[in-house]
Structure 1
Amino acid sequence: MDFKGKVAVVTGGGNGIGRAACLGFARHGAKVVVVDRDAGGAEAVAAEIGRKDAIACIADVTRAADVQAYVKAALDAFGSIDCFHNNAGIEGRIAATAEYEEAVFDAVMGVNVKGVFLGLRHVLPVMVRQGRGAVVNTASIAGLVGTPGMPAYVASKHAVIGLTKVAAGELGPLGIRVNAVCPGPIATRMIEDIARQVSPNNPEGVEERYTAGIPLRRYGTAEEVANVVLFLCSDLAGNVTGAQYVVDGGRTAAPAGVSQGKLP
């Protein structure tokens, strides 16, 4: 887990899993480019790392010009992009497919799919020129199974896994690895917003219901996901590409009602 002399770019780096990844990369010696449309969040994380080791880039990942700008900023500041955590994402609304708003669907697909694609489109050529690099896209267990009431989010995360597999196949012969991380419920702003949408009058009760279906009986932490991201970007994962690493406390391995902590 030695990232000395390496440069990591993290989208959605101002909060949650992205913030934890930025701090983790920096802790292990990397220079970090914190990309987020939330200027305050990005600036705060860069300041926490230290201005000689990190820069903040304000960007909308759905805009090609913004993506090109954060790639250029990384190269201008630090000279390379060795690790790319393609992480920015939004949850959208909770609603049945038959009632889902088209504008919300488009917004979710824009950030979660187009944003990931544009990141790959403009970072991968840099890695090809360098002859090295590792990418981790943030998917979700929603990219592996369906979640009623989240058609846009589920569709977008399935797409992220598809993009991961395509890029891994294309870039593997050049020594560039592309993987995905699939978090389950993680204690971040996103799960708090989902809980408020599901149960406005009792969001705390949503956590109780969700964790009852998780063998570890708790939400994961942003740091636990970031640790997997760092592993996948490190030389320790040198033979890992095109994979989806699940970080969900066992939720998809033992769905609700299967694991009760005791033998049948």
Structure 2
Amino acid sequence: MTETAVITGAAGGIGEGVARLLTAAGVRCVVVDRDPKVEGVAAAIGGTAVVGDLTDPEVSRKAVDAAGDRVDFLVLNAGINCADKDPATLDLGRYQAVVGVNQHSVVYGLRAALPVMRRTGGGSIVVTASHAALKGVPQDPIYTMTKHAVIGLVRAFSGTLAAEGIRFSAVCPGLVDTPLTAGGRERFQAAGIPMLTSDEVAAAIVDTLRMAEPGTEVVLHPGRPVGRYVPAPLD
């Protein structure tokens, strides 16, 4: 039986890379993004596109419906950053959009896909987090907040899902050369700040989908081996 994946934030960058790798391995992919370019990605890989804003839970439901009778893999990759650094001058519309994509859409994706995974006996889920999920990043505190929330969900829920045969993990890359960071690429290069490629992160996500233990937090640094973050015990 053909495996099926739903991948959000797949109009380019990491999400597109994941879709291409999974397709090459024989997986049928449903790719989701608010950018209509996702239709071109779907056409190139022989997959299915869902165009829509993931802050609307109905878009996640449509994506899961498009997958058909099973969802073997779910990659919750969609994300945006925030220009506001001071809550006192925060643009509320921009804030709600960032939280909606980075945080709420993860929950909406789980809400849509988990009933299907439970019905078919299991699956594997990876959330694209960030180094900002593991430490404070003052350059983007709102983004940092949302990624902390995502990693908290993985830590809180991965054990519960593991008992149902569903693996739930996170990949936490450093700075990645994607459309999201394109505006600062020259500045990063001039400052000598190394960047990961989207293909490196995509490969780590696919490996995590296939092989990682539930609750794994994969950490990626440019030019260094893939690692695993282990939270310190509170007791």
Report the TM-score, using the length of structure 1 for normalisation.
0.80
The 3 A distance-change label for structure 1 pair 250 and 105 is farther
Which residue number in structure 2 is paired with residue 233 of structure 1? Answer: 209
Of 42, 61, 76, 1:68 maps to: 61
CA distance in 2, matches of 1:146, 1:190: 19
How many residue pairs were aligned? 225
Amino acid at match of 2:188: V
Equivalent-residue separation in structure 2 for 1:6 and 1:60 (angstroms) = 25
Matched, 1:58 2:58: no
Instruction: Output aligned runs, 1:197-216, within 5 Å.
Output: 204-209=186-191, 211=193
Report the CA distance between 1:250 and its aligned residue: 6.8
2: CA distance, partners of 1:163 / 1:96: 25
| Kept in 2: contact 1:9–1:35 (CA 8 A) | yes
**Residue 43 (structure 1) aligned with residue 33 (structure 2):** no
Residues 187-233 of structure 1, C-alpha deviations (whole Å, 9 max, x = no match): 1111123x2xxxxxxx623333251xxxxxx3111111011111111
Specify the code of the residue in structure 2 equivalent to 1:82.
D
Distance 2:138 2:87 in 1: 8
Shift of 1:90: 0.7
Question: Do the aligned partners of 1:60 and 1:67 also contact (CA within 8 Å) in 2?
Answer: no
Structure 2 CA distance for aligned equivalents of residues 128 and 192 of structure 1: 39
Aligned match of 1:249:
222
Cα 1:97–1:42, aligned 2, differ >3 Å: closer, same or farther? same
1:233-262 per-residue CA deviation (whole Å, 9 max, x = no partner) reads 11x33xx111211112279x9xxxxxxxxx
Q: Which has the greater radius of gyration?
A: 1
Show the counterpart of 2:6.
Answer: 9
1:37-186 map, 5 Å: 37-39=34-36, 41-50=37-46, 54-75=47-68, 79-186=69-176
In structure 2, the CA distance between the partners of 1:249 and 1:97, relative to structure 1 (3 Å rule), is farther
Which structure 1 segments of 5+ residues have no match?
Answer: 196-202, 212-217, 254-264
Deviations 1:33-69 (A, max 9, x none): 0111112x2111111112xxx1111122111222111
Q: Which runs of 5+ in 2 are unaligned?
A: 227-235
Report the AA paired with residue 247 of structure 1: L
**8 A Cα contact 2:85 2:142, kept in partner:** no
- The structure with the greater share of residues assigned to strand is 2
| Aligned AA (2:163) | P
Q: Distance in 2 between matches of 1:128 and 1:231?
A: 22
Q: 1:223 to 1:146 in 2, by over 3 A?
A: same
Query: Are 2:22 and 1:25 equivalent residues in the alignment?
Result: yes
% same residue: 38
Distance verdict in 2 for CA 1:181–1:82, change over 3 Å: same
The answer to whether the 8 Å contact 2:55/2:97 transfers is: no
SS in 2 for 1:174: coil
- Structure-1 separation of matches of 2:120 and 2:26: 20
Aligned equivalents of 1:139, 1:59: Cα separation in 2: 21
Q: CA RMSD in A?
A: 1.8
Preserved CA contact (<8 Å) 1:97 1:149: no
